[in-house]
Amino acid sequence: MVSDISRRGVLQGAVALGTLGYGGQAYADRAAIAVQKDYQASKPMTPYIGTPTSRVDGRAKVTGAAKYAGEFNATGLAYGSVVTSSIAKGRIARIDASEALRVDGMLDVFTHQNRPRMASTDSAYRDDVAPEGSPFRPLYDDRILFSGQPIALVVAEEPEIARFAASLVRVGYDEEAHVTDVYRQRNEAIPLEAPAKPAENPFAPPKPRGAAEKAFAAAEVRHQGEYYVPIEHHNPMEMYASTVIWDGGGKLTVYDKTQGVQNVQRYVCSVFDMKPDDVRVMSPFMGGGFGSGLRPQYQVALAVLAARALERSVRLVLTRQQMYVLGYRPAMIQRIELGAKAGGTLDAITHEAITVTSKYEAFHRQETAWSGLLYKCANAKYAHKLARLDLPTSCDMRCPSAATGVYALECAMDELAVALKLDPLELRLRCYSDRDQNADRPYSSKGLRDCYRQGAEAFGWDKRIPQPRSMRDGNDLVGWGMATGIWEALQMPIAVRIVLSANGHAEVSCATSDIGTGTYTIMTQVAADMLGLPLDSVTIKLGDSTLPQSPVEGGSWIAASVSNGIATTSDAVRKELLRLAKQMPNSPLADAAPDAVVLADGKLVSKRDASRAVSIADAMRHSAVDRIEQEKSTTFADDGSHAHNTHSALFVEVKVDEQLGVIRVTRVVSAVAAGRILNTKTAHSQIMGSVVWGIGMALHEETLVDHKFGRIMNANIAEYHVPVNADVHDIKVIFVDEPDEIINPLGIKGLGEIGIVGVAAAIANAIYHATGKRVRDLPITLDKLQR
């Protein structure tokens, strides 16, 4: 077992996650933690922060030098292949591996019948970000909870042998009736009640304000609509994989595809009753996660199980099809009611959501709260129900709750604008709120007005002809639509270690992951600025559970957290250097206060008098010190007095072939307010990628379940459609200037997720403008348009 102390640490981490979490409205309960603001004194010269710096790991990635979880090697490596359930619910009646075991090169077949000992309590399987419930336990017993569930692990000398032998495992089931259709479960959906203490469930809907029903009934103009988002899957390029290296004596090094190495490390220790020192989890590179890698996935448990049983190294790579049980964006039915005055101000907002989760865990986020937060409105009411299905547990997927909740809200706002005969942008401006409407407090910064203005100008919105079907280009109907985006700007406790050597090289380490977003690069930029070194004198180490503490990389919180963490530790390094510099005879910095010097060009320099300087090398050599090592934790004080959010404005042009119904998204302008932008090149790519995903959400993506069998029908990226190059046309990204002196000393908000919010709504609204037809269930395919 993990010691009590570290277990408590996990739970505290989980609570912190929840309290600060997605769409979290539980601000009142946030503990105010002392912030370490020492480094504010040493504002960087910033030659790198804010520049379009190319990825420092770009060369390693394109040359193949960057290794991913399924690529690490070991002598005597064995290979696993998973057998999965073909039924959605019931029990395994018998499992016969005899034929599989006779195949040449076979090592073993593990099932619930012969598996080694595993923990028997729910808490042992509950990872840092687990929702309430009983986490899935791979190979634990004969119960089948979902189709595609792993029920046997075949291990062989070669991957092909394992895969072939897996096809020979015979399984008999006692089947039970299942339900996988959210519409069938709609009336059985369970309401989420607001808990007594928000910390108990920060994702429960917020308290209502005013009297929304009455205000809606009395409103001069009303809109109500039901919006549907199907199950969607993350589909990262890299397959989920774990390579477990048997280091001897029961020690394991686990190369795992994950967004949180320390989360996986604690999980493995607790499930297999291992000592923390015996498990090291590494994930130096990740080919996309998008939320699917926040929780430990089953392949890591199976690979560890096999490595321990066989006492040799084991690799397990899932197939694309198998990855469709690792979590998904929950399907959801949303109802929105908007009541307004004829002048275009809001009187009432009601947002109800029914979202999908499994029978065994209650995953949900705060889909409905965005509606009450964003626009000025005295009356708001929310309801959220869970539809529990015989599917795996749903999970976070890029901008969970906002991508979907704001989709419904922003389509409804467009429909309200039509009812009001008002330009949709003008409606947003009339409802604009400088305060967080749910908690009635100001934002630490809110550049949304600038997003509207700059976005509209870049798009040419003022040339829009309001009437649907009034704009044409040859055979195509042209439509222009817009929407607002919003997301939380979160930050989490984190620790960073810096080792500075006398030759002017710094190694910066933190257990965080780089899930492909460019964390290596921004960490290099920030450290170079803070330490006054060139980029190539900084090396980043991350994705290793033995490094200083980091939360999972998610929620767009790592850029802000780790950057301020680097600043904190850099400050400690600078102070130590100054202490050494003062010991030099006739030191030019003899009476300099720590805050009166900065690090620049490899030197400690007086801020007042640049001629007073001591080089890093001289300061360290004089004291015969060859390395300075500092490790500091950074926390982020939040007294709840300000809301921290990122915002965006989306402007979209679609062209719809009138005869065929084919839709093309020909132009997108995304104007984003996300605080200080660390790297304009990778940030631009982030937003572009998000917009492309938004095109997928609007037009292509849908996981199809055959409800008769409770089985996903299109578990591959040939039949699960995502945008391809031909679907992607002109995308313009604008970052508006949004200084934020309050949120954290560096003014960083993070932008991994904001880019997708509002895209699908803006496209849906543009399609309405082009065709006069309102399709409220995603994806908007041509058959729905022609219906």
Which of 337/553 has CB closer to ligand MOS?
553
Across 463-573, the runs of DSSP E, i.e. the strands, are 471-473, 476-488, 494-501, 505-509, 538-541
Taking the C-alpha atoms of residue 463 and residue 273, their distance in angstroms, rounded to an integer, is 66
Residue 552 beta carbon to ligand MOS: minimum distance, rounded to whole angstroms: 8
Please tell me whether residue 770 adopts helix, strand or coil conformation. Answer: helix
CB nearer ligand MOS, residue 404 or residue 445: 404
Burial call 140-151: b when 16+ CB within 10 Å, e when fewer: eebebbbbbbbb
Q: Smallest distance from the beta carbon of 234 to ligand MOS, in angstroms? A: 8
Q: Which residue has the tokens 């339900």?
A: 179
Q: How far apart are CA 608 and CA 603, in angstroms?
A: 15
* Residue 400 vs 710, nearer CB to ligand MOS: 400
Shortest approach of ligand MOS to residue 403 CB, angstroms?
Answer: 9
User: Which residue matches tokens 């804010």?
Assistant: 50
Closest distance between ligand MOS and the C-beta of residue 344, in Å?
34
Residue 750: what are its φ and ψ, rounded to 5°? 85, 145
Token pair, residue 401, equals 């709750």
Residue whose CB is less far from ligand MOS, 294 or 743: 294
Q: Which is nearer to ligand MOS, 346 or 490 (CB)?
A: 490
Give 632's strand partners.
Answer: 496
Bridge partners (DSSP) of residue 732 are 669
Q: How many CA atoms within 13 Å lie on the side-chain side of 754?
A: 32
SS3 620: helix
Instruction: Write down the H helix ranges in 641-711.
Output: 680-699
- Nearest approach in angstroms of CB 492 to ligand MOS is 11
Q: How far apart are the C-alpha atoms of 535 and 506, rounded to whole Å?
A: 10
Residues 220, 341 contacting (CB under 8 angstroms): yes
For 579, residues 6+ apart whose C-beta sits below 8 A from its C-beta are none
Q: Least distance (Å) from ligand MOS to the CB of residue 555?
A: 4
CB of 138 to ligand MOS, least distance (A): 22
- Residue 30 backbone dihedrals phi, psi, to 5 degrees: -65, 130
The three-class DSSP label of residue 640 is coil
- Supply the minimum distance, in Å, between the C-beta of residue 259 and ligand MOS: 6
Q: Quick one: 84 or 550, whose CB is closer to ligand MOS?
A: 550
Alpha carbon 226 to its chain's center? 26
787: burial class by Cβ within 10 Å (0-12, 13-18, 19+)? exposed
Q: Is the dihedral of CA 373, 374, 379, 383 positive or negative?
A: negative
Q: Please report how close the Cβ of residue 515 comes to ligand MOS at its closest, in angstroms.
A: 7
Q: Which is nearer to ligand MOS, 166 or 552 (CB)?
A: 552
Q: What residue ranges in 513-626 does DSSP mark as E strands?
A: 538-541, 597-600, 603-606, 613-615
- Distance of CA 556 to CAs 146, 427, 488, Å? 30, 29, 8
End-to-end CA distance of the chain: 59
The site for ligand MOS (CB under 6 A) is made up of 259, 289-291, 294, 396-398, 400, 554-555
Closest CA to 172 of 89, 81, 96, 114: 96
Contact residues for 277 (Cβ-Cβ < 8 A; gap 6+): 251
Helix axes 261-271, 4-19, angle to 10 degrees: 130
- What token pair was written down for 189? 């959906």
**Collapsed DSSP state (helix, strand, coil) of residue 695:** helix
Nearest approach, Cβ of residue 162 and ligand MOS (Å): 30
Q: Of the two residues 390 and 396, which places its CB atom closer to ligand MOS in the complex?
A: 396
Q: How far is it, in rounded angstroms, from Cα 686 to Cα 458?
A: 20
Q: How many CB atoms lie within 10 A of CB 641?
A: 11
* Nearer to ligand MOS among residue 202 and residue 291 (C-beta): 291
Q: Which is nearer to ligand MOS, 131 or 400 (CB)?
A: 400
Least Cα distance to 466 among 481, 452, 456, 451 occurs for: 481
Residue with tokens 């609204």: 765
Say which of 361, 410, 702, 753 is annotated catalytic. 753
Q: Which is nearer to ligand MOS, 554 or 565 (CB)?
A: 554
| 713 contacts 422 by C-beta, under 8 angstroms | no
Q: Which is nearer to ligand MOS, 291 or 548 (CB)?
A: 291
- Give me the least distance between CB of 300 and ligand MOS, in Å please: 17
Name the helix (H) or strand (E) containing 261: helix 261-271
What's the min distance (Å) between Cβ of 418 and ligand MOS? Answer: 32
**Residue 394 CB, nearest distance to ligand MOS (Å)?**
12
Tokens describing residue 593: 């206060």
Least Cα distance to 125 among 273, 260, 239 occurs for 273
Question: How far is CA 591 from its chain centroid?
Answer: 47
Bridge-based pairing of strands 279-282 and 252-256 is parallel
Nearer to ligand MOS, 36 or 259 (CB): 259
Rounded CA separation 210/158 (Å): 65
Backbone angles phi, psi at 535, to 5 degrees: -55, -45
Handedness of CA 14, 20, 21, 27 (dihedral sign): positive
Answer yes or no: 753 catalytic. Answer: yes
Q: Which residues are part of the catalytic machinery?
A: 753
